[in-house]
């Protein structure tokens, strides 16, 4: 039963297993879907989908298999035919538009069912029936706020619900979403060690020992499980990074909240690391990179965040790389190599999309640091690399960037 859905899910990368599929069949046999397509949709998703990242792929597979089996509120073909060739919407003042009542979704569903049962002909420009160009909450091309668009293109931006719209497209893992999801990705970098004299109660051991002693409480203790994970986060700020500031802020917020870091050291730089990084940009509180290297252990995980995009001289010159009056005795690329040689594990997170990485300075920096996109997938891959697992970073494209817009984040 529904075997096409199983193969459609697998074809889109949703790792549904035969065990999960048999569980779904058992649930259907017990009547848990109640012969309702909406219930079936949620039941199958709850059993077959392991992560919200896969919701979009699930929706695509569902539409492929079940498209047309049950239209919303059983919209008839003649109604869809009436909605073709719409009339122009009437012109309403802001006051008249504000007077139109927006219904909640439950009321919209009930009213749509009634009007589908009652309507016998085409209507345009009205305020009740399913039509075009009017103020009815049903149809398209009109001005009613909070309606249900049926057929036709959108454009008013006021529909509350659209038939067959994929609601979870934003959960794709190649996009940066929110602080919580970034935090989940950062937890891929987790390491604990039992060290020191402090003890904690071993809950599982206490339960087993109490059971062996016929119910007499026997407390079992163990050395405290303590995280010894330390992270140095260096973030490019200003200039070409301004369009990506909200992404980097989310990453920084998630890293600051991470409970599995024993220590997080966050500093800033501009374009490239030179002889100083800055702990506080508002006060230009500088920290010499040489002191940073001498202070932090080799086992600290280094994460650099930036577009790696700059004039080649800013990366390779020893004079005027930062501004005209500044002299840096060592070129930026040499400071980057110095950091890479000191820390055992380091990665670079780039907020630019991979097709834009053909800039020469991006390519040179990616030769020093494994570079990953600043997306959920990219962060997860970077954390795996920092944990010592074998991960191949994406290969930057060769040649000039096509279409311009090298630093523009429009792809996000």
Higher per-residue confidence, 320 vs 352: 352
| Residue 281 binned pLDDT confidence (cut-offs 50, 70, 90) | low
Mean pLDDT across the chain: 74
Higher per-residue confidence, 87 vs 388: 388
pLDDT of 308 above 90: yes
Using CA atoms, how far residue 400 sits from 20, 359, 374, 396, in Å, is: 47, 7, 22, 11
Cβ–Cβ under 8 Å, residues 59 and 35: no
pLDDT score at 197: 46
DSSP state of 123: E
Cβ–Cβ under 8 Å, residues 23 and 48: no
User: Can you list the domains of the chain with their CATH numbers?
Assistant: 3-66 (no CATH), 72-162 (no CATH), 228-403 (3.40.50)
Higher per-residue confidence, 118 vs 274: 274
Least Cα distance to 205 among 191, 189, 215, 218 occurs for: 218
Chain segment 223-264, per-residue pLDDT in tens: 666 667 888 999 998 878 888 888 888 888 888 777 667 788
pLDDT of 405 above 90: no
pLDDT score at 159: 40
d(CA 346, CA 26): 48
pLDDT score at 132: 64
pLDDT score at 47: 92
What percent of the chain clears pLDDT 90, i.e. is strictly above it?
A: 21
Order of strands, sheet of 147-149, starting from the edge strand that comes earlier in the sequence: 123-124, 131-132, 138-140, 147-149, 159-162
- φ, ψ for residue 345 (rounded to 5)? -130, 130
């Amino acid at each position: 039963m529904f075997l096409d859905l199983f193969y459609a899910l697998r074809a889109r990368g949703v790792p549904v297993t035969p065990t999960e599929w048999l569980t779904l069949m058992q649930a259907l046999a017990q009547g848990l879907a109640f012969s309702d397509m909406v219930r079936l949709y949620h039941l199958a998703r709850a059993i077959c989908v392991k992560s919200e990242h896969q919701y979009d792929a699930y929706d695509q597979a569902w539409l492929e298999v079940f498209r047309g089996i049950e239209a919303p509120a059983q919209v008839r073909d003649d109604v869809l035919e009436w909605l073709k060739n719409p009339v122009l919407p009437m012109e309403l003042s802001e006051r008249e538009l504000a007077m139109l009542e927006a219904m909640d979704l439950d009321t919209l569903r009930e009213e749509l069912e009634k009007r589908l049962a009652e309507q016998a002909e085409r209507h345009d420009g009205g305020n009740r029936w399913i039509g075009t160009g009017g103020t009815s909450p049903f149809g398209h091309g009109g001005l009613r706020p909070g309606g249900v668009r049926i057929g036709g293109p959108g454009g008013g931006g006021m529909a509350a619900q659209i038939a067959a719209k994929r609601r979870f497209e934003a959960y794709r893992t190649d996009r940066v979403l929110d602080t919580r999801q970034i935090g989940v990705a950062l937890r891929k970098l987790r390491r604990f060690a039992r060290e020191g004299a402090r003890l904690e109660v071993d809950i599982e051991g206490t339960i087993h020992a109490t059971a062996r002693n016929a119910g007499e409480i026997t407390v079992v203790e163990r050395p405290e499980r303590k995280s010894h994970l330390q992270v140095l986060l260096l973030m490019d700020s200003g200039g070409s990074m301004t369009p990506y500031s909200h992404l980097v802020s989310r990453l920084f917020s998630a890293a600051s909240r991470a409970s599995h870091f024993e220590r997080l050291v966050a500093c800033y730089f501009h374009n490239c690391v030179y002889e100083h990084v800055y702990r506080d940009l508002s006060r230009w509180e500088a920290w010499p990179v040489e002191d940073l290297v001498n202070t932090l252990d080799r086992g600290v995980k280094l994460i650099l965040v930036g577009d790696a995009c700059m004039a080649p001289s800013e990366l390779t010159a020893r004079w005027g790389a930062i501004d005209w009056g500044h002299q840096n005795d060592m070129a930026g690329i040499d400071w980057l190599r110095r950091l890479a040689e000191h820390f055992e594990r380091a990665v670079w997170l780039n907020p630019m999309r991979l097709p834009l990485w053909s800039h020469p300075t991006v390519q040179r920096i990616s030769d020093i640091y494994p570079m990953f996109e600043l997306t959920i997938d990219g962060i997860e891959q970077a954390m795996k690399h920092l944990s010592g697992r074998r991960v191949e970073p994406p290969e930057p494209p060769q040649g000039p960037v096509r279409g311009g817009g090298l630093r523009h984040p429009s792809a996000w």
